[in-house]
Structure 1
């Protein structure tokens, strides 16, 4: 029993000793690499957000098609149809808000890229 406790405590101590230097190094802010962070490229960020907005718009269009299908053939779905409709309406709302937010972020980064120059 004493040998199990000894080896368990030894393993725990080795583990703690291996973690300690890593955490001490990560807190070192005097590292010159940390100070040389490049400024963000606002044009690339704007393009990224524009692409995300387009993707969210495409997903929203897909949800609209599914909702239209439900309206036309609601009798296919039975009782679960209302859950289907509520689910896809919620997704449509989520995708529309995400597209709007991504468009706002793209516009903000376009504006920042003009002021940086």
Structure 2
């Protein structure tokens, strides 16, 4: 009884120590990679956010078409009003997500342009002002 308990506790401690050292190493590697964000990554992120915005807008228009082609709530069955209000909520959610993604894309485009443009690097105060404005708008809409 004592031997099995001792082996269980010691093996758990060994695994715990091994995982802690791995997490520390992974965090340091991730920190270095996180600080090394290049201009290329910002352009890629901007494209990704634009594509997400297009997808959200397509979903919103699809839901609008569903709502327009079924003008009466009787087409939706017994809970027609509830379903119509749910579809309207989904439309507004998709439109808000599209707007947020477009703002994030604009922010990443501004960052990438600031990193590549030599004339902008001479004026860091203006760059910081533009970036802070973009961050403020992005944070305002994301609820931070």
- TM-score tier by shorter-chain length is 0.7 to 0.9
Q: Is the 8 A contact 2:39 2:112 kept in 1?
A: no
Point out 4+ residue stretches in structure 1 off by more than 6 angstroms.
none
Report the Cα offset of residue 65 of structure 1: 1.4
SS at match of 1:71: coil
1:69 corresponds to which residue? 69
1:1-20 → structure 2 map (5 Å cutoff)? 1-20=1-20
Does residue 109 of structure 1 match 2:108?
A: yes
5+ long unaligned stretches in structure 2? 118-144
Alignment RMSD, CA only?
Answer: 2.6
Q: Is the 8 A contact 1:53 1:100 kept in 2?
A: yes
**How far apart in 2 are the matches of 1:37 and 1:112?**
14
5+ long unaligned stretches in structure 1? none
- What is the total number of aligned residue pairs between the two structures? 113
**How far apart in 2 are the matches of 1:38 and 1:70?**
48
2:32 corresponds to which residue? 34
Report the Cα offset of residue 93 of structure 1: 0.4
* Residues 38-86 of structure 1 deviation map (CA, whole Å, 9 limit, x = unaligned): 42433322222221111111000111012123324x2233332122112
1:60 corresponds to which residue? 60
- TM-score (ref. length: structure 2): 0.63
Greater fraction helix? 2
The structure with the largest alpha-carbon Rg is 1
